[in-house]
Chains A and B, each alone.
Chain A
Amino acid sequence: MVTLNDYSGSVKPDWCPACGNFAQLTAIKNALVELNIEPENAVIVSGIGCSSNLPEFIRAYGYHGLHGRLLPVASAIKWANRDLTVIGYGGDGDGFFEGTQHFYHTAKRNVDITYIVSDNQIFGLTTGQASPTSEIGFISKTTPDGNIEKPVNPLTFALSAGATYVARGFSGDPKHLEELIRNGIKHKGFSFIDVFSPCVTFNKTNTYDYFRKRVYKYIPDNPEDFSKAYQISQEWGERIPIGLIYQKSEATYEDLDPVASGEIPIVRRPYRKLTEEDISEFL
């Protein structure tokens, strides 16, 4: 049996005390333990931002890549080795600004990976600029008179792209978050979990209190009902839903690809030698 201790990293997280990322780190570890996934078979791929430092703080295989580019790296890891559990982890700036095209296409491809976004509605590592999910009127270093650009809605974006598991969690409710992550990992296909993750240093608006007052746990009657999911995902303001929004079973990209779908993962297949037959077409 895998224990929490197996996932204990040697590096202490460098996040600010009470940062929303702590709850997510714990939830990810707990979910992996609960699912009895060996640390050598778990890969955490991250982008750039405070949250993206996470792979260092967990004893698994970690790849801390570029801002916005974690999904292509994570997808190819999965295609190369289907036996691995691949988790993508990054922030809202990372995923919904520079990573937009990757997010859209990875969701559409239904690659069997889990993508968790620590959504704090601000750029933290670069010390407090408006992010793609900052609300209208939000004051930051780059929006001293208030943000005038509409925020991205990550849930509707994921839904319209074709993600097959769409959920929203809150770092202030770690048990619920862990369940969403666990089910996301179990889901065969692209699972997306947007997590409200208060930035205690730079975002004085979207605080723990702000969310505690507003969030409610949504449970869909029929997780496959796309219209309902789309409608729920647009709720904002006084009442904000968290929980599973949408889930549907669909073939994954690697199931459909004639090469990746083989029983033995690509990485373990022997090298193929060129033959006379191969080159005879050039004669």
Chain B
Amino acid sequence: MGNDEIIFRVAGAAGDGVQSAGQIIAKTLSRKGLNVVTYNYYQDIVRGGQSWYQIRGSNSKVRSQGDGLDILIALNSDALERHTNPEINEGGASPLSGIAIYDKSLTVKDKRNVQYIEMPLSELALKHSKFPLMKNTVAIGAAMAAAGVNFDTLAGVISDIFGNKGAVADQNVKAAKEGYDYYSANYKPLEKTLRFSDKRKYLIGGGEAVALGAVRGGLKMYIGYPMTPASSALHYLASHSKQFGVFVKIPEDEISALNMVIGANYAGARAMTGSSGGGFSLMVEALGLAGMTEVPAVIYESQRPGPSTGLPTKTEQGDLNLVLGASQGDFPRIVLSPRNVKDCIELTSEAMNLAQIYQTPVIVMSDLYLSEHSETIDEIDLNFSIDDGERAKDGESDYKRYRITDNGISERAIPGQKGLMHNEDSDEHDEYGNVVSDAVTDPKKREEMMKKRMRKLETYRRNMPPTPTYRLEDADVAVVQWGSTAGVVEEVVDILRDKGKKIGAVEVNRVFPLNPDIEKILSGKRIIVVENNFSGQFNRLLKSEFGVKTSLVRKYNGEAFYPGELAAMIEKEMEVN
């Protein structure tokens, strides 16, 4: 860890206010011009258990939750022990090497080589409020003093967050001040070389970013059934429904959700749904319906570890096979895999257009790690050019909804358009939409229609933007990743470059179909595929597509890769021939 970065961790039980405390710290840092990445470690319970929230802030670009721990706020004795004891494995997270801030009522099990900042957190909090979680705010004040952040910025964040709760905001600011002053009077700030400024950065969660990207891409209706970790997008849209004019609906199940999205798109309104693998499994049938009837549909699929209920609050990239193979028969589908929060915005907007242009389902694959963590962005490009694709004109003569074309794309007509009445059918159909499967099965028409639909995929492949790479120019080794592991992979490339390795990364953020340019990019390089799953689902896709030899680095314990951990795994792999 560089001296221009700082890592905080708030740890306690569910219901202790871990996440809110973490978010206050993250926002304070982003308002002081730091680059921030957060990490949310929690369990599938509402009260109890062990959860923690990590905030990494830096003057340099940060792309993962990072290694190391400077400031721990421990909300119970177990947390104090757990995050100072190097023997306890939290899925790759570093134990504390800096200071631990905690209430004096907690007990220290075994003294470690860290600085213990025992404080009268509850006593100081009680001066302003009886609300028990107020002691967290005192601790945040102390942590900000330790980090050398000025108090006014923290006070501003607290006021904004509790702004609509009247006196609560004021009480929290006072409690934070108690902690800030107590720390300043008794302890020295950490020795860091962080440079603060008042240039605020946008701090956005991955789920919110998908929602923003959808709105930017013309979203008019979002229909989704709640499921972690896709719900953050649903919540954001529900609370901003009137602001954006987006219709938001929770239907009876995910089967209904995707069928509704199909109905809305058929009627001409851009609509989208979102879920995790479990909910997506219920959408499988309707996915093929969208493919067959050539109705646009955008599906946000945020992965969590399966099978079945799996680990509801953990991360994994284990749904690629599901998404690629979902629904019977062949039909074109497009799968995008955003790498970070910025990609979540931009690729979701892109998905909204692609679904319209190619009249087929587009799936945006994220995961819990990306959906439930926040990152800073310097700028958000608000401009996006909406493309509704090929549309028929009112009254067109001899209108054929599924006209056979060279690029596979036929003009759509929307109900309400004069003279373009037609049938869209889940049965195989002819150019007019009339069924060819019932009375007289027509093998030739079937073949033509199959080819027409599948040609859309070839058209898309020809129009795909180039695959992003990182420090690959003179590299002998290419780390190939997809989705949310891009940030940590870039950091690992930097670490290994510093050690003299000629290594770079290929960042596949459009995972299906694969861009043909990848073949050239990989040519002559040793390929190491990094994936957050057991069987190497993307690795298999890459090998079958390009016939390349690869080695595979995996993690599937529910946690995301940490940079040091992944660097060691890749180095070890590089030693093997």
- Residues of chain A at the chain B interface (Cβ within 8 Å): 10-11, 14, 38-41, 43, 45, 48, 53, 55-56, 59-66, 69, 72-77, 79-81, 83-84, 101-102, 104-105, 257-260, 262, 266-267, 269, 271-276, 278-279, 282-283
Contact = CB atoms under 8 A, between A and B. Distances in A.
Interface string B252-281: 110111011111101111010000000000
Given A41-B416, A259-B245, A275 B264 contact: no
Contacts of B285: 66, 69
A175 to B, nearest CB: 26
B293 interface: yes
B394 to A, nearest CB: 9
Given A53-B435, A102-B256, A266-B220, A80 B421 contact: no
Given A102-B252, A274-B382, A66 B221 contact: no
Describe A's contact surface by its main secondary structure: mixed
Top-9 shortest CB links A-B: A76-B263, A72-B259, A73-B263, A80-B267, A80-B269, A76-B260, A62-B423, A61-B415, A72-B256
Contacts of B384: 274
B78 to A, nearest CB: 33
A11 B438 CA distance: 12
Contacts of B425: 55-56, 62, 64
A20 to B, nearest CB: 18
Given A84-B416, A266-B269, A272-B245, A65 B426 contact: yes
5 contacts: A39-B421, A55-B425, A76-B259, A80-B221, A257-B249
Nearest to B376: A282
Nearest to A76: B263
B439 interface: yes
B86 interface: no
B420 interface: yes
B247 A53 contact: no
A69 B255 contact: yes
B260 A62 contact: no
Interface in B223-250: 223, 241-249
Nearest to A45: B263
Interface residues on B, range: 35 or more
B438 A14 contact: yes
B21 interface: no
B423 A266 contact: no
Contacts of B289: 65-66, 69
Contact of B421 (A59, A259, A262): A59
Contacts of A258: 241-242
A282 B251 contact: no
Interface stretch (B12-20, B198-206, B519-527, B560-568): B198-206
Contacts of A59: 421
B223 A11 contact: no
A105 B247 contact: no
A62 B271 CA distance: 19
B434 interface: yes
B373 interface: no
A272 B212 CA distance: 12
Contact of A77 (B220, B266, B438): B266
Contacts of A43: 267, 415
Given A11-B434, A60-B421, A272-B244, A65 B259 contact: yes
Interface in B408-465: 414-427, 433-435, 438-439
A54 B375 CA distance: 52
A88 B261 CA distance: 16
B257 to A, nearest CB: 8
Nearest to B160: A281
B31 interface: yes
A272 B216 CA distance: 8
A63 B415 CA distance: 10
Contacts of A73: 259-260, 262-263, 266
Nearest to A54: B423
B264 A77 contact: yes
Given A43-B267, A257-B249, A274-B212, 11 more contacts: A38-B418, A41-B415, A61-B421, A63-B424, A64-B427, A66-B285, A66-B286, A72-B257, A76-B221, A267-B269, A272-B244
Given A105-B256, A274-B216, A282-B204, A84 B267 contact: yes
Nearest to A271: B218
Q: Which of B244, B264, B380, B438 has the most CB of A within 10 A?
A: B264
Interface in B162-216: 200-204, 208, 212, 215-216
Contacts of B438: 14, 53
Given A84-B267, A259-B241, A267-B269, A282 B202 contact: yes
Given A14-B439, A81-B267, A257-B247, A69 B420 contact: no
B386 interface: yes
Given A102-B256, A279-B212, A282-B203, A266 B263 contact: no
B423 A64 contact: yes
A13 B256 CA distance: 29
Nearest to B349: A274
A283 B386 CA distance: 26
B260 A105 contact: no
A69 B258 CA distance: 10
A244 B31 CA distance: 64
Contact of B266 (A38, A63, A260): A63
Contact of A48 (B220, B256, B382, B426): B426
Contact of A64 (B244, B248, B426): B426
Contact of B264 (A80, A83, A279): A80
A105 B203 contact: no
Contacts of A76: 221, 223, 259-264, 267, 271
A274 B213 CA distance: 9
A276 B382 CA distance: 8
